[in-house]
């Protein structure tokens, strides 16, 4: 195994377990429910795939998966799982905004990914990802959910989110920022929200996690077709990392 000094490489061995524990299982649950949104044969791009439990689910559904991550060690763990389960995917080490990808994807997935960046960079990254979605295709996001339950909800959400945001920021894992208003961001990116599932941590509405499916309108459709540049070509092709 290569030595990996990327901050996410250092936590690769226990990241998924810690996320599951901290969220009382809601983080993996928000990703798991997306498997019903994926159809056999879909071309799916995972941005910042990490260890890729969600990508494995998609492969079991019969999707064709391309997965990108900056941390080689994350992808190394995914590669081993693929080998054990007899599955194949294209794994690319690099920045998903710069990596050599061609063509469109039916689905682009950004799970617990945009929240690594501050608001401006997250919006820029989202715009890059939307460019990779085929017109009529979808973008999925799983993330921390903004509070819904008034002042108490905002307070409980901050109590749950801010300490981990501060620790992750101090370790260089993410930017310091409030939970994003994903609905507004997706709207600004020209996408139409089709499904949104909130999984609360306890019995009230907050704190919670969310999984969203948003559609990129077809060019010239009644919905507007307003999302960025259309990606060219029907099939994605990418240069594998190994
Ligand atoms: C918070 S983790 C989430 C991983 C996975 N999506 C999940 O839900 O478990 C973020 C991942 O994004 C990767 N990453 C960070 N910046 C990236 C970039 N610009 N391009 C590709 N991957 C990136 C990190 O290495 C890390 O594995």
What distance in Å separates the CA atoms of residue 144 and residue 30, rounded to the nearest whole number? Answer: 10
Question: pLDDT tens digit string along 93-151?
Answer: 999 999 989 789 999 999 999 999 999 999 999 999 999 999 999 999 999 999 998 99
Query: What is the pLDDT of the chain when averaged over all its residues?
Result: 91
Per-residue pLDDT band at 239 (split at 50, 70, 90):
very low
Q: Which CATH number fits domain 7-218: 3.40.920.10, 3.30.930.10, 3.40.50.10300, 3.40.50.150?
A: 3.40.50.150
67 near 96, Cβ under 8 Å?
no
The answer on pLDDT for 190 being more than 90 is: yes
The distance of Cα 28 from the centroid of its chain, to the nearest Å, equals 12
Query: pLDDT grade, residue 1 (50/70/90)?
Result: very low
Q: What angle do CA 120, 53, 9 make, to 5 degrees?
A: 60
Distance (angstroms) between ligand 1 centre and the Cα of 229 equals 24
Total H helices, total E strands in the chain: 8, 9
Dihedral pair phi/psi, residue 13, rounded to 5°: -65, -25
- Report the C-alpha gap between 23 and 34 in whole angstroms: 18
Ligand 1 center from residue 185 Cα (angstroms): 19
Element (DSSP H or E) covering residue 48: none
* CA of 47 relative to ligand 1 center, distance in Å: 7
Q: How far is the CA of 219 from the centre of ligand 1 (A)?
A: 30
Question: Region 210-235: what's the mean pLDDT?
Answer: 71
Side-chain half-sphere CA neighbours of 99 within 13 A: 27
C-alpha distances in Å from residue 3, one per residue of 7, 67, 73, 83: 12, 20, 8, 21
CA 236 to chain centre: 18
Between 234 and 218, residue with greater pLDDT = 218
Q: Ligand 1, closest atom to CA 9?
A: 25
pLDDT tops 70 at residue 236: no
pLDDT of 173 reads 94
pLDDT tens by residue, 11-51: 999 999 999 999 999 999 999 999 999 999 999 999 999 99
Dihedral pair phi/psi, residue 159, rounded to 5°: -60, -35
Mutate to test the pocket of ligand 1, among 48, 53, 241 (most ligand atoms within 8 A of CB): 48
Q: What percentage of the chain exceeds 90 in pLDDT?
A: 84
Task: Judge whether residue 220 has pLDDT over 90.
Answer: no
Contact (CB, 8 A) for 185 and 143: no
Task: Give CA–CA dist 74/9, Å, rounded.
Answer: 6
CA–CA gap between residue 69 and residue 133 (Å, rounded): 18
Residues in contact with ligand 1 (CB, 6 Å cut-off): 6, 8, 31, 48-50, 68-71, 74, 95-97, 111-113, 116
pLDDT for the residue 102: 78
Predicted pLDDT at 241: 42
């Amino acid at each position: 195994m290569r030595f990996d000094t990327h901050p996410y490489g250092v936590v690769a061995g226990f990241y998924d377990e810690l996320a599951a524990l901290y969220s009382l299982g809601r983080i993996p649950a928000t990703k798991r429910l997306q498997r019903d949104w994926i159809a056999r044969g879909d071309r799916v791009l995972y941005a910042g795939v990490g260890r890729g439990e969600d990508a494995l689910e998609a492969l079991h559904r019969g999707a064709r998966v391309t997965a990108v991550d900056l941390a080689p060690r994350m992808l190394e763990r995914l590669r081993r799982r693929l080998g054990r389960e007899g599955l194949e995917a294209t794994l690319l080490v690099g920045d998903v905004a710069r990596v050599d990808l061609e063509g469109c994807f039916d689905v682009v997935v950004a799970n617990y990914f945009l929240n690594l960046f501050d608001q401006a960079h997250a919006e820029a990254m989202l715009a890059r990802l939307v460019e990779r979605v085929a017109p009529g295709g979808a973008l999925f996001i799983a993330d921390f959910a903004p509070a819904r339950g008034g002042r108490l909800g905002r307070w409980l959400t901050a109590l749950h989110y801010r300490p981990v945001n501060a620790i992750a920021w101090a370790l260089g894992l993410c930017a310091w920022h409030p939970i994003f208003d994903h609905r507004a961001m997706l709207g600004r990116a020209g996408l139409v929200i089709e499904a949104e599932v909130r999984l609360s941590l306890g019995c009230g509405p907050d704190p919670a996690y969310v999984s969203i499916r948003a559609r990129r309108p077809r060019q010239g459709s009644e919905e507007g077709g307003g999302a960025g540049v259309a990606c060219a070509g029907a099939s994605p092709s990418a240069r594998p990392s190994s």
